[in-house]
Structure 1
Amino acid sequence: MGLSHIDSLAITLLTDNYTDRLLPTLYPANRPPLVRDEQFLPSPPPIAEHGFSSLIKATCIIDKNKEKATTTTDTKKENIVLFDCGTSENGVLHNADILRINLNSIQYIVLSHGHFDHFTGLMSIIKRLNKPMKMICHPDAFLKRWIVFPNGRDKARLPSLSSEKLRNQKVNLFLKKGPSLLLENQIIDYQGISADDESTSPVPKLLITGQIPRHTTFEKGFPLQYKEDPTNGNLTPDPLVNDDQAIVANIRDKGLVIISGCAHAGIINTVNYAKALTGVDKIFAIVGGFHLTGGGIYEDAIEPTIKELKKIDPYYLVPCHCTGWKATNRIIQELPEKFLQPSICTTFTFDANN
Structure 2
Amino acid sequence: MRVNLTPVDGVHVTTLMDNSSDALLPDEGLVRRWGLNGTSGPLPVVPAEFAAGGTSYDFLRAEHGFSALIEVRVDGRTRRVLFDTGVTTDGLIGNLDRLGIAPDTFEAIVFSHGHFDHVMGLHGLARRLGRTGLPVLLHPDFWLQRRIVAPDRTLELPSPSRSAIEGAGFAVVEEQQPSFLLDGMLLVTGEVDRTTPFETGMPPAHQAFRDGSWQPDQAVHDDQAVVLHVRDRGLVVLTGCGHAGIVNIVRYARRLTGVDRIHAVLGGFHLRDGPIVAETVTALAAEAPAVIVPAHCTSWKAQQALAAGLPDAFRPNGVGSRFEL
- Structure 2 equivalent of residue 69 of structure 1: none
SS at match of 2:57: coil
AA partner of residue 174 (structure 1): V
CA–CA distance in structure 1, aligned partners of residues 108 and 56 of structure 2: 28
Higher alpha-carbon deviation: 18-27 or 159-168: 18-27
CA–CA distance in structure 1, aligned partners of residues 286 and 233 of structure 2: 17
Identical aligned residues as a percent: 38
CA–CA distance in structure 2, aligned partners of residues 276 and 39 of structure 1: 48
Give 1:21 deviation, angstroms: 1.0
TM-score when normalising by structure 2: 0.90
- Tell me, yes or no, if the aligned pair for 1:58 and 1:204 is still in contact at 8 Å: no
- Structure 2 equivalent of residue 70 of structure 1: none
SS at match of 1:226: strand
Q: Pairwise mapping of residues 150-299 of structure 1 onto structure 2 (< 5 A)?
A: 151=151, 154-183=153-182, 203=183, 205-223=185-203, 224-229=205-210, 231=212, 234-293=213-272, 295=273, 299=274
CA–CA distance in structure 2, aligned partners of residues 101 and 39 of structure 1: 16
Give 1:127 deviation, angstroms: 1.8
Q: Deviations over 1:56-82 (max 9, x none)?
A: 111101xxxxxxxxxxxxxx3333111
Q: Structure 1 residue runs of 4+, over 2 Å off? A: 33-44, 76-79
Choose from 65, 76, 83 the match for 1:51: 65
SS at match of 1:51: coil
- Tell me, yes or no, if the aligned pair for 1:34 and 1:42 is still in contact at 8 Å: no
Q: Deviations over 1:139-198 (max 9, x none)?
A: 10100011112x3x6321100001111111111000100000102xxxxxxxxxxxxxxx
AA partner of residue 226 (structure 1): Q
- Structure 2 equivalent of residue 330 of structure 1: 305
Q: Pairwise mapping of residues 21-170 of structure 1 onto structure 2 (< 5 A)?
A: 21-34=23-36, 36=42, 43-61=57-75, 76-130=76-130, 131-149=132-150, 151=151, 154-170=153-169
AA partner of residue 244 (structure 2): A
SS at match of 1:323: coil
- Structure 2 equivalent of residue 196 of structure 1: none
Q: Deviations over 1:96-134 (max 9, x none)?
A: 111110000001010000001101101211221142211
CA–CA distance in structure 2, aligned partners of residues 226 and 241 of structure 1: 9
Q: Deviations over 1:259-300 (max 9, x none)?
A: 00000000000000000000001000000011112x5xxx33
Q: Deviations over 1:16-63 (max 9, x none)?
A: 1112111111331111143859979973321111111001111101xx
CA–CA distance in structure 2, aligned partners of residues 346 and 79 of structure 1: 19
Give 1:346 deviation, angstroms: 1.0
CA–CA distance in structure 2, aligned partners of residues 309 and 338 of structure 1: 11
User: Structure 2 vs 1, CA of residues 336 and 170 (structure 1 numbering), >3 Å: closer, same or farther?
Assistant: same
Give 1:229 deviation, angstroms: 3.9
Higher alpha-carbon deviation: 30-39 or 265-274: 30-39
TM-score when normalising by structure 1: 0.83
User: Structure 2 vs 1, CA of residues 45 and 214 (structure 1 numbering), >3 Å: closer, same or farther?
Assistant: same
Unaligned regions of 5+ residues in structure 1, if any?
62-75, 184-202
Unaligned regions of 5+ residues in structure 2, if any?
47-54
CA–CA distance in structure 2, aligned partners of residues 107 and 42 of structure 1: 34
CA–CA distance in structure 2, aligned partners of residues 43 and 141 of structure 1: 38
CA–CA distance in structure 2, aligned partners of residues 83 and 309 of structure 1: 23
- Structure 1 equivalent of residue 52 of structure 2: none
Q: Deviations over 1:318-348 (max 9, x none)?
A: 1111111101101111211111111111111
CA–CA distance in structure 1, aligned partners of residues 189 and 170 of structure 2: 21
AA partner of residue 122 (structure 2): L
Cα RMSD (Å): 1.9
CA–CA distance in structure 2, aligned partners of residues 27 and 304 of structure 1: 28
Give 1:216 deviation, angstroms: 0.7
User: Structure 2 vs 1, CA of residues 39 and 92 (structure 1 numbering), >3 Å: closer, same or farther?
Assistant: closer
Higher alpha-carbon deviation: 283-292 or 2-11: 2-11
Alignment size in residue pairs? 309
